[in-house]
Structure 1
Amino acid sequence: MFVFVLIFMVTVLYYINFRRLRKPLYEFSERMPTIGEVPVLGHTHWFIGGPERLLENIRKLAELVDSSGGLSKIWIGPSLYVVSLNPEDVQKILENCLEKDSSYKFLQTWLGNGLFVAPVELWKVHRRVLLPIFHNRVIEDYIEVFGQQGDVLVQRLAEQVGKPEFDVYKYITSCMLDIVFETAMGEKMDVQHNPDTPYLRARNCVMSIINMRLFKAWLQPDALFNLTPYAKMQKENIDLTHKFTDEVVNKKRALFESGGLQKEGRKDLLELLLTRDMKFTNEELREHIDSITIAGNDTTALVVSYALLLLGSHEEEQDRVYEELKGIFGDSERLPTKEDLNKMDYLERVIKETMRLYTVVPIIGRKTQKELQLSNVTLPAGVGCAVAPFVMHRSKRLWGPDADCFNPDRFLPEHSAKRHPCAFIPFSFGARNCIGRHFGMLAMKSILATVLRTYKVTSRTIDRLKIEILLFPVPGHMISIHKRNTAC
């Protein structure tokens, strides 16, 4: 009995001290507008359920915030977040709050201090070093790889011509992995012909476990997670992915130190990192290459897959894309060049409208490091900031009454010029935006152009979505394809 009383007293004293230390946070919270909060639980009940229900709850909560002026607070357990859907406030948050939210720690277990999740002070140093290797001139050297792998994709898709619906994402993600492996590491993996590899199985397993931890509160504390079989499974699969990248890094390092790297011609990103003035350790190289490979593959593959879904259910827009491609290529079956990609104005608008409607990174989390003045509130240091591009991009307040409709011409220059720069942020915004955005856009254009020159796509409307770190359609990216009569 004495032990139970002692435990109770210690718990009460801990809670009192916890509240005392966080008193400024609670005082700030009381001054903030709130929507959908319940006693004790705060907003935690909105974040319970499977991935489909979870996204719908987040969407409803964010839409309530949007309709009430675009600024509110949410409590998830002991963590306070300010939710802002006003472009002016979002710009201030993304420009001034460069520290990632604590929820990214689950990815950090895997990606270490790679650029995507690195603490801000380390990120500042490494971003300066990595920025030149993502220069447009460097990325444009990879256009040939985009075309070659897009051509393989077209050949692989031939097995689905005239057949019932199939999930195109499986084909697109294999194509993107081949592109990313070759451009980031110089490794020709041929994933398109060999999709079931130990590396990919391990990678998918780790992503599944991280997603589970993000949205299941009882698995978030390391002490509890480490008691589950998932902890061992995660470690084994992380070790397997690290082993693969470590072997590539060690091989490239040995070539570099022996003077065996090629002096002329296209260089992969790992080679370029090895030649920078800042000397990265092998572990740092692995962390950056893993971040590029993992963050760059799924996001790009998802946008391409969503674009095919949208064009498959919007015949007029698909015909406009095809006519644009026909005007560029004629009857030639050659691979796209830089000049060709620069002429694909309508296809680029299709890609941007796809990223607006199906923002594959639906939530961005940041944390204030010092006081930040927003439009009508001053945020103290240490507060989480949640930006929801998926909701902002469909906001009728920002995009008009037809915000849910597919209309690529929203991105005509004369329309975009009137829009706040943070009304559309598929690559985030500010200094910590996506370093690979030019790579992604060129790769997406090249793959879509190659597929749409060869096949006509049909699909149904997407009506059910889920969040699994990224945004996925519940039934998959289901399309059917038919060979076009005329090549272009």
Structure 2
Amino acid sequence: MYKVILLGIFSLTLFCYLIYRSKHRTFFQHASKIPTVPAGFIRRIKSLIGANQEELFQVLKETICPGPSPRKAWLGPLMFVFVDDPDQVNQYLNSPYGIDKPKIYSVLGLDKGLFVSNGALWKAHRKLLDPSFNAKVLSSFNPIFNEKSKLLIKKLEDELDAEEFNIFSYFISFGLDNILRTSTGVDKKIMEEKNNKYVNDCTIGVNIFASKIVKFWLQLKPIMRMSNLYELEQKHILNGMFKMAHDLIQEKEENIRNNNDVKYKSEKPQIFIDQLFKKRNEFSFDEMADEINTIILAGFETIATLSSTVVLLAALYPDVQEKIFEELKTVFNSVDEEVTDRKLQELSYLDQVVNESARYWTTLPYIARSLSTDIEIGSKIVPSGSIICVPIILLHSNKEIWGEDADKFIPERFSSERLTDTQRKAFMPFGRGPRICIGNKYAIKSIKIALSHFFRNYKSSTNVKEENLTFEYTVFIKLVQGYMVKISKREF
């Protein structure tokens, strides 16, 4: 009897599979001509169950392995197509077909924000919000960036000549302070409070997002509700990091109602939420909340991770740190002189260090797009329904692109004299094309201003050995051990 039942189940499954193949004949014909990743996804699925963040990074690194471009890997009925040829990547990401993101991004819960939304909603919002990050607006934030950078320097005095500490925690607070002030106009003074609740909510929230991205079964609501992450998600995300944006919008609307009318002045700084309210009829309440939360979520981790990376790498490479300091002495007249746009343009070596840090320890491992039409990549036809994956971590470490010293930290490779066209195409810490991170220039500017203050005031050192460092995956790639440094006072 059991054999008959099993035979029936097998026959039905085979029949359904053949029907599926028949309906998607063209898809499978094109797919069969795309090379397959040598080690597929399936054998790694088991290793994701119960894995910690460090193990997740190892699985990610093994899964996004080198090979011909494009190449495919299957995860059940889903076909992932990896593209890591710089010319192919740039052609695709700059095309009309390189815009829509797959559903996996929806785990962030910001479906109406720029990072997750697709189609007409994304295009409309991007067009409306692009002016909020132009050069004039970013310049209006310079006083805030300088003010918060000086406060960071003040707070770091507690660590002078002490034991090694994780500087990442300071840059997390710095990043959130900057973003909240420039996006909402509210100064939460996060750096002035140790163990800040909002910092804790954001940190835990990012870890939950990472778990839901990699452990895809948690994206099913019934399973998520049964997991121990559900209560944490409710507490730290919905009633924590996301709630602040809702409260701020409600407060803003209440102020508008009380005043009956609001006249938006052109005085600086040009706060993001004010820019949204100028176009209030273009955004629903939820869309505004998602856009503010998108800016916060995408910004604070990027700023904290890249800033901490530069400080630790400067400690590991003292000669690089001395070159930074020498450049700062030629550009600034005093230790506390404010950073202006003109001064930033003169900091060419610091710019090289920041770029090389973003390449050497890549923070964004990959970007993914969903295809709604057949397209040609290389000599292959990638069928509609595929998920395109651009492994930035491979583009940034490929020795065919960066040379045999690609595994070395060499800031000078980003000098205008040395950087090749292929390397420019391969370097994409914030993505590429129409969907490049809208706040990429904001992040780099705030980081460089903070670092110009830091290296004028402090010298970083460390006892850690680079070969002993390991990484973990929490949406962004970070060091497991933290960014452990000592700091001593500089004589400027």
Q: Fold-level match, TM-score > 0.5?
A: yes
Determine helix, strand or coil for the equivalent of 1:298.
Answer: helix
Match of 1:454 among 433, 453, 457: 457
Deviation at 1:232, TM superposition (A): 4.0
Q: Do 2:171 and 2:303's aligned partners in 1 also have CA atoms closer than 8 Å?
A: no
Determine helix, strand or coil for the equivalent of 2:282.
Answer: coil
Structure 2 segments unaligned to the other structure (5+ residues):
none
Match of 2:33 among 31, 34, 39: 31
In the superposition, relative to structure 1, how do residues 256 and 264 fare at CA in structure 2: closer, same or farther (>3 Å)?
Answer: farther
Residue deviations 1:54-84, cap 9 Å, x none?
Answer: 323433443432xxx3431112233211111
* TM-score (norm: length of structure 2): 0.91
Distance 1:380 1:274 in 2: 41
Deviation at 1:47, TM superposition (A): 5.7
Match of 2:314 among 311, 316, 332: 311
Whether 1:323 and 2:326 are equivalent positions in the alignment is yes
Q: Do 1:88 and 1:375's aligned partners in 2 also have CA atoms closer than 8 Å?
A: no
Mean Cα deviation higher: 314-323 or 420-429: 420-429
Per the alignment, residue 253 of structure 1 pairs with 253
Distance 1:55 1:242 in 2: 27
Distance 1:195 1:74 in 2: 45
Q: Do 1:255 and 1:261's aligned partners in 2 also have CA atoms closer than 8 Å?
A: no
Per the alignment, residue 381 of structure 2 pairs with 378
Mean Cα deviation higher: 393-402 or 186-195: 186-195
Q: Do 2:356 and 2:414's aligned partners in 1 also have CA atoms closer than 8 Å?
A: yes
Deviation at 1:356, TM superposition (A): 0.7
Q: Do 2:401 and 2:423's aligned partners in 1 also have CA atoms closer than 8 Å?
A: no
Distance 1:84 1:59 in 2: 15
Per the alignment, residue 98 of structure 1 pairs with 99
Distance 1:33 1:265 in 2: 57
Per the alignment, residue 412 of structure 1 pairs with 415
Match of 1:470 among 461, 464, 476: 476
Residue deviations 1:117-159, cap 9 Å, x none?
Answer: 1123210111000001111110111011111111111111111
Map 1:340-355 → 2, pairs under 5 A: 340-355=343-358
Distance 1:195 1:289 in 2: 24
Deviation at 1:313, TM superposition (A): 0.7
Distance 1:161 1:297 in 2: 25
For these two proteins, the number of residue pairs brought into alignment is 480
Determine helix, strand or coil for the equivalent of 1:64.
Answer: coil
Deviation at 1:25, TM superposition (A): 3.5
Distance 1:11 1:232 in 2: 37
* TM-score (norm: length of structure 1): 0.91
Identity %: 25
Whether 1:424 and 2:427 are equivalent positions in the alignment is yes
Per the alignment, residue 398 of structure 1 pairs with 401
Residue deviations 1:233-263, cap 9 Å, x none?
Answer: 3234333133321111122223345335662
Distance 1:408 1:293 in 2: 29
Mean Cα deviation higher: 330-339 or 315-324: 330-339
Map 1:222-371 → 2, pairs under 5 A: 222-240=221-239, 241-256=241-256, 258=259, 259-260=261-262, 263-266=265-268, 267-276=270-279, 278-371=281-374
Per the alignment, residue 58 of structure 1 pairs with 60
Determine helix, strand or coil for the equivalent of 1:180.
Answer: helix
Distance 2:127 2:386 in 1: 27
In the superposition, relative to structure 1, how do residues 261 and 297 fare at CA in structure 2: closer, same or farther (>3 Å)?
Answer: farther
Deviation at 1:228, TM superposition (A): 2.5
In the superposition, relative to structure 1, how do residues 9 and 57 fare at CA in structure 2: closer, same or farther (>3 Å)?
Answer: same
Per the alignment, residue 200 of structure 1 pairs with 199
- Residue 312 of structure 2 aligns with an amino acid whose one-letter code is L
Structure 1 segments unaligned to the other structure (5+ residues):
none
In the superposition, relative to structure 1, how do residues 264 and 122 fare at CA in structure 2: closer, same or farther (>3 Å)?
Answer: closer
Per the alignment, residue 437 of structure 1 pairs with 440
In the superposition, relative to structure 1, how do residues 464 and 242 fare at CA in structure 2: closer, same or farther (>3 Å)?
Answer: closer
- Residue 371 of structure 2 aligns with an amino acid whose one-letter code is T
Q: Do 1:303 and 1:355's aligned partners in 2 also have CA atoms closer than 8 Å?
A: yes
Q: Do 1:368 and 1:382's aligned partners in 2 also have CA atoms closer than 8 Å?
A: yes
In the superposition, relative to structure 1, how do residues 126 and 388 fare at CA in structure 2: closer, same or farther (>3 Å)?
Answer: same
